Structure 1
Amino acid sequence: MNPWVMFVLIASLGLGTTITFASSHWLLAWMGLEINTLAIIPLMAQQHHPRAVEAATKYFLTQAAAAALMLFATTSNAWILGEWNIQQLAHPLATAVTMISLGMKIGLAPTHLWLPEVLQGLDLLTGLILSTWQKLAPMILIYQLAPNVAPSVLVMIGLTSTLIGGWGGLNQTQLRKILAYSSIAHMGWMIIVLKYSPNLMLLNLVVYIIMTSTAFLALKFVSATTINMLATVWAKTPTMLTITMLTMLSLGGLPPLTGFMPKWMILQELTSQDLPTTATMMALAALLSLFFYLRLCYNMTLTSGPNTDNNKAPWRLKTTATLPLPTLAIFSLMMLPLTPTAIALMM
């Protein structure tokens, strides 16, 4: 792709998210989401492969439907109550439809079915943008909308997303689909605590973006898209094998890695809100996700690859990592001691 075209598309991604962040009017927020959607579609289809074009088409149709739902709901609220302010979405039907549309935008259950199929058709760097940057604007709108949504609705959406994210990743062999179900599960953890501790949701979002970015960049570095390809990494780049394995365990929430911090704090918050049953079900759902992360680690460390594979030869791999990868890896693995600081900042 032409560098100037790439610059315009990346700048449009930033502009769309910034407009949504800065807006207090539903129409401006909708415009920012639309700019975001239109900017990433050429990045999706740049491979000129039928699978990539199919993924871009599915993403466009899904996001267009979600944007139409959101515009319909907010326009109805303005028609009935005369209010366009994001935090004044008081009509129950408009609130429910808007929540569904924003959930569809980020892949919350039960409107999650598009995410694994779309992510599977993308290259790892575009998948990284879809899994991290594209979730920022809708999550900020959900953050502002949460006071008008019933707590039971958010708890049900969060619990369903976590369970589906755990169950869906169990039988997958494609790493991008596994990361898609991981994203669904992590979104569920954020939504379930949003009503009770919004700052904790923001902390979880930051930690999720750091860990997911590390995972995508590490898989891009070793050119792995399936579980079988992971079995050949140990003979080529042992250091990257270690970083990738620990990042997967951190995504699963295993102590003493960074991913344990948000799960620990969310379970503590749910317990303090007299929701012990919900906290128990979330902990059990986290075990499902941890299982398929452990499966990946098993394939990386305790199995050997086939004699003939389609992977790149070791001398064709890059020998040095780019700056973001080691920096993100440090944050993905070593932030647990900062938990007291995070708690103090949220109080």
Structure 2
Amino acid sequence: MPPMALLAVTLGIILGTLTVTSANHWLTAWLGLELNMISILPVIAKQKHPRSTEAATKYFLTQATASALMLFSSTLNAWQTGSWDITQLNNKLSCILMIIALMMKMGAAPTHFWLPEVMQGSTLTTTLLIATWQKIAPITLLYMISNHIEPVITLLIGVLSILVGGWGGFNQTQIRKMMAYSSIAHLGWTLTVISVTPNIALTNIIIYMIISTPFFLMVTTTSSKTLQTLTTTWNYAPTTTIILMLLLLSMAGLPPLTGFTPKLLILNSLVMYKLSLTATIMALLSLLSLTFYLRTTYLLTSTTSPITTQSTTLWRLKPHQNQTTATLIPIALFNITILPALLM
């Protein structure tokens, strides 16, 4: 991609998200989402491959449908209440339609059908953008209307997302698809508590983003796209392998790693609001996600020295990639060991 085009696309993605997060008017938020969507389409389709073209088309159609539904919902609310203010979504039908539109934009179940395919057809760097940065704007809008959301709706969507995320990633061998279902499961944890305690929901999604970012970047430096090629990382990057294992266990929510903190806070919040049955179901469904995290961790550990790997090495690390990995390791360690500060 030419430098000027890359600069324009980057500015569009950043400005689109900032416009949404600072908006008070529904039309301004819609404009920011459209700018964000148009800017990321060239990034998804830049590979000049049928898979990336298909991914860009699916992303465009889904996001355009969600934007139209969002515009219809805000217009209906303005017609009924006379207000375009984001925090004044008082019409119940408008609120339900807006939740569906935002769920579609984020990729939460049952409107998750586009996310695994789009992430599989994109590069690892683009996958990182879709799994983290592209969720900031919809999550912000959901946070702003959380006072008007019916808790039953978000609880159902959240539990369904945890189930779909765990069950869908169960038999995946592609890292990008596995992380797509992981993203759906973490969105489920966020949605279950967004209408009860929005601050904890925001904490959960932020922690997921700061954990998944170094994971994606480290996988990018090793050029690993499947679990088979991921098993050969120990031969050339043993430190990276250890950090990847810790990041996977942190995303799984195992104590004493950072990923355990938001899950504990969410379960505690649900129990305080007398939703113990929902908290129990969520804890049991999270075992599905734990299975494929542990499977990936086992594949990494089963090939560590002195065991000889049986799979063919499909890549070699370059010198600048070694430097990048060395830069990422302190960031990843910080993300893993931030738990004591969060518990204070």
TM range (shorter): over 0.9
* 1:336 corresponds to 2:322: no
2:322 is matched with: 319
Matched-pair contact (CA < 8 Å) for 1:223–1:312: yes
Alpha-carbon contact 1:210-1:328 (below 8 Å) kept: no
SS at match of 1:257: coil
Q: Which residue of 2 aligns with 1:33?
A: 33
Q: Which amino acid aligns with 2:183?
A: S
CA contact (8 A) 2:240 2:329 kept: no
Q: Which residue of 2 aligns with 1:107?
A: 107
Could you tell me how far apart the structure 1 residues matched to 2:20 and 2:287 are? 35
Task: Indicate conservation of the 8 Å contact 2:154/2:195, yes or no.
Answer: yes
Please report how far the alpha carbon of residue 89 of structure 1 lies from its aligned counterpart in structure 2 after TM superposition.
1.1
TM-score by length of 2: 0.95
CA distance in 2, matches of 1:306, 1:2: 41
Identity %: 47
CA RMSD of aligned residues (A): 1.5
Residue in 1 aligned with 2:137? 137
Change (3 A) 1:171 1:198: same
Which runs of no fewer than 5 residues in structure 2 stay unpaired? Answer: none
Shift in Å, 1:201:
1.2
Q: How many residues align?
A: 340
Q: Deviations over 1:200-258 (max 9, x none)?
A: 11111210110110110111011101010011111111000001111011110011111
| In structure 2, distance between residues paired with 1:86 and 1:308 | 54
Counterpart in the other structure of 1:263: 263
CA distance in 2, matches of 1:122, 1:316: 25
Query: 2:226 matched to 1:222?
Result: no
* C-alpha separation in 2, matches of 1:195 and 1:61: 29
Give unmatched runs, 5+ long, in structure 1: 342-347
Q: Displacement, 1:333? A: 0.9
Q: Per-residue deviation at 1:23? A: 0.8
Code of the residue aligned with 1:333 in structure 2: it is I
Partner of 2:159: 159
The answer to whether the 8 Å contact 1:248/1:297 transfers is yes
Tell me the amino acid that sits aligned with residue 223 of structure 1.
S
Paired residue secondary structure (1:248): helix
* Contact residue 221 and residue 317 of structure 2 kept, 8 A: no
Pairwise CA distance, 1:5: 1.1
2:212 aligned partner: 212
Give the equivalent residue in structure 2 for 1:6: 6
Query: Contact between 1:45 and 1:56, CA under 8 Å: does it hold in 2?
Result: yes
Measure the CA separation in 2 of the matches of 1:8 and 1:60.
Answer: 19
Note if contact 1:55-1:117 (Cα within 8 Å) is conserved in structure 2.
Answer: yes
Partner of 1:273: 273
8 Å CA contact 2:69–2:97 kept in 1: the answer is yes
Whether the 8 Å contact between 1:228 and 1:305 is mirrored in structure 2 is no
CA distance in 2, matches of 1:322, 1:230: 15
Is the Cα–Cα contact under 8 Å of residues 213 and 328 in structure 1 kept in the other structure?
no
How many Å separate the matches in 2 of 1:180 and 1:276?
28
Deviation of 1:74 (Å): 0.8
> Is the 8 Å Cα contact of residues 245 and 297 (structure 2) preserved in structure 1?
yes
Give yes or no for the alignment of 1:308 onto 2:312: yes
The answer as to whether partners of 1:45 and 1:52 remain within 8 angstroms in 2 is: yes
Aligned counterparts of 1:136 and 1:10: Cα–Cα separation in 2: 15
Amino acid at match of 1:232: T
How far off is 1:321 after superposition?
2.1
Displacement of 1:198 after TM fit?
1.2
The aligned residue for residue 344 of structure 1 is: none
Name the CA distance, whole Å, in 1 between partners of 2:275 and 2:17: 34
Aligned match of 1:193 = 193
Report the equivalent of 1:15.
Answer: 15
Q: Deviations over 1:128-165 (max 9, x none)?
A: 01111100000000111121111111111111111111
Match of 1:250 in 2: 250
Amino acid at match of 2:70: M
Q: Measure the CA separation in 2 of the matches of 1:115 and 1:45.
A: 15
AA paired with 1:340?
L
Separation in structure 2 between the aligned mates of residue 222 and residue 315 of structure 1, nearest angstrom: 9
